[in-house]
Amino acid sequence: MARFSALGEHGAVWLALGGAGWALDRRRRPGWRRATLTVEAAYLANTGIKLVVGRRRPELEDLPPLAGTPTRLSFPSAHAATSFAGARAFSRLGAPAAPCYALALALAASRVYLGVHYPSDVAAGALLGALLGAAVPLPGPAELAEEAGSRAGESA
């Protein structure tokens, strides 16, 4: 579980998926760029909130955490924030929603299982990420046409 959870560290799996979308979906490339930047924005917003709130990670006697963490702060969960930002933004671009949300949910839940977050940390991170993912402006027809035109000019 710790190895699986490591995929979500700093939003890494979502940044990789966004990069793949950007590289493979030329028609919606501007949207993939924005969606991937939103994953980064979720991570940064999460970090700022974490510093302001200052909530310590769970400490249960005789039940140590099953994974290490980069900080001792827990609220909100960055894994949940980046995962739900990625799932929401990428599915709005046409990525299959069910696998995106399944991955987001599994990565978020792994943090509670590993003993490094409270359920409320994960819920707050998921809400933050989903709100940011929903706010990504999708490219309109004019922007898509402009992108297609610039690609046509490159190949000429």
Cα separations (Å) of 28 from 17, 18, 22, 142, 156? 14, 11, 7, 12, 21
Q: Do the beta carbons of residue 11 and residue 39 sit within 8 Å?
A: yes
pTM, 2 dp: 0.82
53-111 tens-digit pLDDT: 988 877 777 767 656 667 787 899 998 999 999 999 999 988 999 999 999 999 999 98
pLDDT in tens, 1-59: 767 666 777 788 999 999 999 999 888 898 999 999 999 999 999 999 999 998 887 77
Q: What is the pLDDT of residues 102-153, one digit of tens each?
A: 999 999 999 888 877 889 999 999 999 999 999 988 776 666 556 555 655 5
Beta strands in 15-125 (DSSP E): none
